[in-house]
Amino acid sequence: MGVFSISLHHKLLLVGTRRLNRIIFQFAGHHVSATLLRPEDSSSNPVVKRQRRVSNISIVQRKRVASDGWQKHERSVQSKAWNNEIPVFQRKGEDGRVSSELRRLSLDDFPAEKEKMAGQRSTVDSRAENYEVVFGIAPCLLALTQGRRQARKLFVKDGEASQRASVIQVCEEARGRGVQVQRVSKKDLDKMSWGRVHQGVCLQASPLGYLTEDGDSAPNRGDTPLWLVLERIQDPMNLGAILRSAYFLGVDRVLSSLRHSCPLSPVVSKASSGIMEVIGVYGYENLEDMLRLKVAQGWQVVGTVGAGAEETRTPVVQCSDFQMTQPTVLLMGGEGEGLSPQLLSLCRTLLTIPAGRELFPGIESLNVSVATGILLHSLLSSRRSTR
CA distances from 207 to 58, 96, 135 (A): 47, 35, 13
Is-contact 201 141, C-beta < 8 A?
no
Helices and strands in the chain, H and E counts: 15, 11
CATH class of the domain defined by 226-385: alpha beta
% of the chain surpassing 70 pLDDT: 62
- Report, as an integer, the average pLDDT of 223-248: 97
Is-contact 36 88, C-beta < 8 A?
yes
Residue 168's pLDDT is: 94
Q: Is the dihedral angle over the CA atoms 186, 192, 194, 200 positive or is it negative?
A: negative
Q: What angle do CA 155, 273, 374 make, to 5 degrees?
A: 170
Q: What is the pLDDT of residues 262-278, one digit of tens each?
A: 999 999 999 999 999 99
Q: Considering only CA atoms, give the Rg of the chain.
A: 33
The overall average pLDDT reported for the chain is: 76
Residue 95 has pLDDT above 70, yes or no: no
- Report, as an integer, the average pLDDT of 351-379: 90
Overall size of the chain counted in residues = 387
What is 127-205's CATH number? 3.30.1330.30
Q: How confident is the model at residue 50 (pLDDT cuts 50, 70, 90)?
A: very low
Question: What gap in Å lies between CA 268 and CA 182, rounded to an integer?
Answer: 24
Question: What gap in Å lies between CA 253 and CA 305, rounded to an integer?
Answer: 22
pTM: 0.67
Helix axes 100-109, 111-125, angle to 10 degrees: 110
For the chain, which residues make up each domain, given as ranges?
20-113, 127-205, 226-385
Residue 85 has pLDDT above 80, yes or no: no
End-to-end CA distance of the chain: 110
Q: What is the pLDDT of residues 243-259, one digit of tens each?
A: 999 999 999 999 999 99
Q: How confident is the model at residue 64 (pLDDT cuts 50, 70, 90)?
A: very low
